[in-house]
Every structure is written in structure tokens, then in C-alpha cells.
Structure 1
Amino acid sequence: MPVASMRQLLEAGVHFGHQTRRWNPKMRPYIYGERNGIYIIDLEQTTRALDKACEYIRKCASEKKNIIFVGTKKQASEIVEEEAKRCGAHYVNRRWLGGMLTNFETIRLRINRLKELEEMRDSGDLFRRGKKEQSVLNRELLKLEKSLGGIKTMRGKPDVLFIIDQKREFIAVNEAKKIGIATVGIIDTNCDPDGIDYVIPGNDDSIRSIKLIVGKIADSILDGKQGAGVQVELPAEKTDWKEHGAPEAVTEAEPQMAVVGAGEEPAPAEASSEG
């Protein structure tokens, strides 16, 4: 059975891409067609790609390899933190600091500083300082927690990078490519799939789409760690997703979310998705 059923993918709006004027031609092989000015992603390919990616992630987890989730856009930030914590993965959900992979030794120094400040706080030493010094140290602690909190237990470079939105996380992807770290990603129609080892074609703007796919990746990590090595069993279905390609289906569910990229103007209601 597939990791996610066609119905799950449909209900999450995974098939809704970006406006046709906002696309990357390299994503053409993953596009089924166009409806109301929105590209429709081929969910048959998404299903196969998600299965392949989850199997790879499961294998990596069973071999005790380190996996890091990267999703800094507003729609992904909270989901990335929750799911990474649930499966015990590292994560970056605020801002990717240049050199996190290619200059990890410098990043390690900042992580050590974060741990030092946390120890000062937990022991009460921080609160025995003068008010001005407390304020300065607190600000430093909060800043480091925001940027490094998700990787503070990471002892070295990760083995796998899982990203949401290649276009936004291109610095992380380039660093991973430079030092030979495998990449897995949710890749929308406006992204460049080159350089991503395991492309999961799908909507990277919809909260429900992100939640579904990131959740399946987290499940695979848990399966791998437990040594189960089995896929999530779902009821067999024969939903014809190609008959459900009109963007209105998702607009009714979450009309406040439109299929636009960062900084774009929302599409008209009849040509928008929840993402």
C-alpha cells in the first residue's frame, strides 16, 4: 500500500501548484495539466515519489543516520518543529544561517555558547547578574535559541537534508550539494528540482499539504528507528484524482490561502488553492 492514499493527497490539496505564470520549466515532467490558471501536479507521480522518499528515509533512520528538517516559511515553521521533535530529528524552522553545513565548526561554537547560556539560566546564575547584564544575556539566549535550538544536539554534519520549498531554502540545498549530503524535498511547480535527490512533487504552500507530507516523513523516521521497516497501511482506494483537479475544491475548504509564491499577489478566488 502507498504511504499516503490518493484521497489523502487530494483532500490536503497536494496537487495544486502555482499560477502558470510562476513556474519553473524543469517541473514540466511532474505537471498533469492546468486548471483556471493554476498548474495541477500529477498525483500519481507524487504517490510514487513519496513512497520512494519515505523508504529511503526509513532506511537512513534504521542505520542511525542524522536527518535534519528545514522549513522556514510561515506555513511550514510550526509543523517542522512539531514533527521533527516527534520523531527525534534535528530542524531549522526560523532562518538558515549561511555555513550551517559548510562551516559547521563555527556553528558548533555558537551551539556551545547556547548551551552555556542555558546552563547559566537553569542553574540560576543568570539571575544573579546585574539587571543590565541579565538583559544582554537574555537577548543573546533568545536569539541563539531561535536560530540554533533545533540543532543544538547535532554533533556533526547531518546525513540527509529534508526541505520544504527549494526556492526558499536554496542556500541550504546548495550547501548540502557542495559537501555531498543527500536531499529530499517537497518541490512545487515554481521550484528547481535539479540537485534534489528525492523530489516529492507537491504543494509547498498549503498547511495541510505540508502537514501530510512532513508527517509521513516523520512516521518513516520512527519506523526506521523502531526497526519496523513497514509502510503505513491505508485502505485501498480507487479515487480518480484527475476528476478533482479544479482549484475550487480547496478554495472551499480554506479560502484564506492562495497559491502564490513569496511576495506575489493572491490569485482570484476561482483560481486559488489553500497554499
Structure 2
Amino acid sequence: MARVEVKQLLEAGVHFGHLTRKWNPNMAPYIYMERNGIHVINLYKTVAKLDETNEALSKIAASGRKILFVATKKQAKDIVAEKAAKVNMPYITERWPGGMLTNFVTIRKAVKKMASIDRMKKDGTFLTLSKKERLQVDRLRAKLEKNLGSISEMTRLPGALFIVDTMREHIAVKEAQKLNIPIFAMVDTNCDPRDVDYLIPSNDDASKSIDIIMTEVTNAVAEGLAERKSEKGDAAEGKSDDKKEKAPKKKEAADKPAPSPEKVDTKPAPVVAKAPNVEVDVEATKETVAKKEKVEADDLTKVEGIGPKAAEALVAAGIATFADLSKGDAEKIKEILTEASSRMAHLDPTSWPKQAKMAADGNWDELKEWQDNTKGGVE
């Protein structure tokens, strides 16, 4: 991953903050100095935080989860729409629909309404309507496309949010916090960094600053997607190679000539002393090996309500697979999360074992339907 240099950020004006009288005291660790009544952001810390953010976003993209980009301010909307579209990620640039995350089921119904209107136009039903009705339907379709067209492919809650200006998008921040969705954001000197999981201290008002940060972020997402694609390709090649290797072995066994009676060794086989009272439980050994192979193979973030940090805490506590999580007790899981971080004390793991059981059994369609019909994994 190519690292952006401080000089590039300086030229793009990423270091310019807000007026000193508008600052948020919690941003003090990321402020370098004050000049002419304006705070100057420490770009060395910006680079460090940008690297941390890129690494986390790359992992989320590699896991197959969607990252929702949010930017409704004039100078950011076109840049965010262009960059997010390049990596095939959903984005909101017009207006944040209230309940976009907390009432996701209703939002999905509105998206499905667009699809039903498109079907009407294809099968000819649209032409049977009166002129006034057709005009109303067209207006509704245009309105839905403007506000929700960019998230039409997002069939479930996103794995993370990337926000430009948390002050302006405060509703999105609150909804993501309620559902424990990780928040990544460009944070200026007038914003509160405590609301964000991964922050990038930067100027969120200048188009050049937004452009350079968005370029770095989407490049990291693209790398995560490429990694996921290569892993799928390697898995497919591995299966085909196994099939090819098995075939020649059978052929070699068939071609090998049987030993002639003259060359048969008639010497008695050497007697090997058996170890006394040594019994090997073959089935138990197989189970142990299978468990060792399966450790760290499951992505717990596929369970609705579990973010990257919560997944790390569970793995550290020995809950590394869907099978382990399905047998877990909600109260004990709550204790593990609270001990790992006080910020995860509000999580509700009641439905996690149920979701993990579906995932462990391979019932992904059933799990997806269940997640779509619940609010953030809470029944």
C-alpha cells in the first residue's frame, strides 16, 4: 500500500482547520499550532491515522462487507460519488434519509418500489395507466433514484460508514453508534473525535483535501477487494489441482506390474514389540486436527452487530469460529466485551449465538433474510 507523503497533504491544504473560537477541545492532540486565528492540524498524525484507517477498511472490504460513504456537503458530494462508484461501494450524497440504518427494512421497501416500477415499464403494465398516473409514477421513480439509487445494491446493513464532516452528518453518526457499526471519518478541528472509531484529522471543507483523502481511502478499499478476489481464485485453483493429482495416482497404481512368484520374498516378517497399554483415539485426534485447522477461519463480523473490534475481543477470548459463538452464552459474551473495552458495554449479543448457528450450518440465505428483517441484529 503506497503511503501518502506529508508534502502532498500540505499542498492539498489538509492542514487548515477552523477558527480557534470554533474548535472542539477534544481535537487538541491533533492540532499542531494556531496561526492568524486558525488552528493548524498536525499532518504527521494525519498520515499515521490515515494508514490505520486504510488498513481497517481494507480488511472490511476483503471480508465482503459493504462500506457506505456519506457526504452531503456541496464541495464533497461529487468527489465522494465518483470515488465510491469506482470501487462499487454504496454512497449517500443528496440527503441522509432518517432511519436509513435503524429502519433499514423500510428503506429496502422503497428501493424495491423502484424495481417494481422498472418491471411495470418492461412488461407493459405502465402503458395501461392514465397519463396523470404515469406522470406521478415517473416523478416518484425520479425522486427515489435521486435519494436511494446509489444504495440499490446494498441488501443488508453496511460493515462500516465513512463520513465527511461528522458535524453535518450527525444523524448518520448517531444511527451507526446505535447499531454498533464502525465509523470512519474525516474530522476537522470543530468536530468531536470521540464519536468516531477511526478518525483522519483533516480539512473537511476544501475539495482538494477531500479529494486526496478519498483517493487514499478508496485505493485501500480496492486493495481489499482485489485480495478477496485472489483468495477466491486460489481456492478454486486448489480444488481443481486436487482433482488432477488424484487421477494420476490411480493410473500409476494400475500400471504397476504385479510381483512375479519367483521374486517373492519368503523371509518371515520381523517381529516388532508392541508398546504396552497404548491406545490411540483416532476419532478424537481427527477432531482435534480439524479444530486446529478451523481456528481463525471464520469472519465473525458477518454476524450482525459484531464489528472488527468486537470480533478481535471474541477471538482473544477463545471464541474464534461460528460454532464456538453458537454455543456461547449471551451474558458471558457481554462480560468479555465489557472487559475488552468500556465502549462495547452497550452491545447486545442476545441474537449472536442464533446468527452464528445459521452461519455454522451454512444457512447463509436464511441468515441474510433474518438480518434484513431485523433492526441491526436486534429482535
TM, length-normalised to structure 2: 0.58
Letter in 1 for 2:204: D
* Equivalent in the alignment of 1:81: 81
CA–CA distance in structure 2, aligned partners of residues 190 and 48 of structure 1: 20
CA–CA distance in structure 1, aligned partners of residues 181 and 123 of structure 2: 38
Q: Deviations over 1:132-183 (max 9, x none)?
A: 1122111111111111111111111111000000001111011111111001
* Equivalent in the alignment of 1:9: 9
CA–CA distance in structure 2, aligned partners of residues 110 and 177 of structure 1: 24
* Equivalent in the alignment of 2:335: none
Residues 2 and 47, structure 1, Cα contact 8 Å, conserved in 2: no
Pairwise CA distance, 1:195? 2.0
Residues 162 and 184, structure 2, Cα contact 8 Å, conserved in 1: yes
Residues 63 and 228, structure 2, Cα contact 8 Å, conserved in 1: no
Q: Deviations over 1:42-96 (max 9, x none)?
A: 0010000001000110111111111110001111111111111100111111111
User: Structure 1 pair 126/8, CA: closer, same or farther in 2 (3 Å)?
Assistant: farther
Determine what percentage of the aligned residue pairs are the same residue: 46
* Equivalent in the alignment of 1:249: none
CA–CA distance in structure 1, aligned partners of residues 119 and 223 of structure 2: 33
Asked whether 1:118 is paired with 2:108, we answer no
Asked whether 1:197 is paired with 2:197, we answer yes
Letter in 2 for 1:132: K
Residues 193 and 199, structure 1, Cα contact 8 Å, conserved in 2: yes
| Structure in which a larger fraction of residues adopt strand | 1
CA–CA distance in structure 2, aligned partners of residues 124 and 5 of structure 1: 57
- Describe the SS at the equivalent of 1:132: helix
* Equivalent in the alignment of 1:108: 108
TM, length-normalised to structure 1: 0.79
CA–CA distance in structure 1, aligned partners of residues 55 and 79 of structure 2: 21
* Equivalent in the alignment of 1:138: 138
CA–CA distance in structure 2, aligned partners of residues 165 and 127 of structure 1: 45
* Equivalent in the alignment of 1:71: 71
Pairwise CA distance, 1:128? 5.6
Pairwise CA distance, 1:125? 4.9
Letter in 1 for 2:134: Q
Q: Deviations over 1:114-145 (max 9, x none)?
A: 22223334666545643211221111111111
Root-mean-square deviation (Å) = 1.8
Count of residue pairs brought into register by the alignment: 229
Letter in 2 for 1:14: V
CA–CA distance in structure 2, aligned partners of residues 165 and 28 of structure 1: 17
| Structure in which a larger fraction of residues adopt helix | 2
* Equivalent in the alignment of 1:148: 148
Alignment of 1:16-55 (within 5 A): 16-55=16-55
Pairwise CA distance, 1:228? 8.4
CA–CA distance in structure 2, aligned partners of residues 123 and 48 of structure 1: 55
Letter in 2 for 1:55: E
Alignment of 1:92-241 (within 5 A): 92-121=92-121, 125-126=125-126, 129-227=129-227
CA–CA distance in structure 1, aligned partners of residues 122 and 34 of structure 2: 55
Residues 54 and 220, structure 1, Cα contact 8 Å, conserved in 2: yes
Where structure 1 has 5 or more consecutive residues not aligned to the other structure, the ranges are 230-275
Where structure 2 has 5 or more consecutive residues not aligned to the other structure, the ranges are 230-379
Residues 2 and 51, structure 1, Cα contact 8 Å, conserved in 2: no
* Equivalent in the alignment of 1:257: none
- Describe the SS at the equivalent of 1:194: helix
Residues 67 and 162, structure 1, Cα contact 8 Å, conserved in 2: yes
CA–CA distance in structure 2, aligned partners of residues 227 and 106 of structure 1: 34
CA–CA distance in structure 2, aligned partners of residues 123 and 201 of structure 1: 52
Pairwise CA distance, 1:4? 1.3
Letter in 2 for 1:227: E
Q: Deviations over 1:8-44 (max 9, x none)?
A: 1011110001111221111111111111111100001
CA–CA distance in structure 1, aligned partners of residues 167 and 206 of structure 2: 15
Residues 64 and 228, structure 2, Cα contact 8 Å, conserved in 1: no
* Equivalent in the alignment of 1:237: none
Residues 203 and 209, structure 2, Cα contact 8 Å, conserved in 1: yes
CA–CA distance in structure 2, aligned partners of residues 201 and 29 of structure 1: 10
Pairwise CA distance, 1:205? 0.4
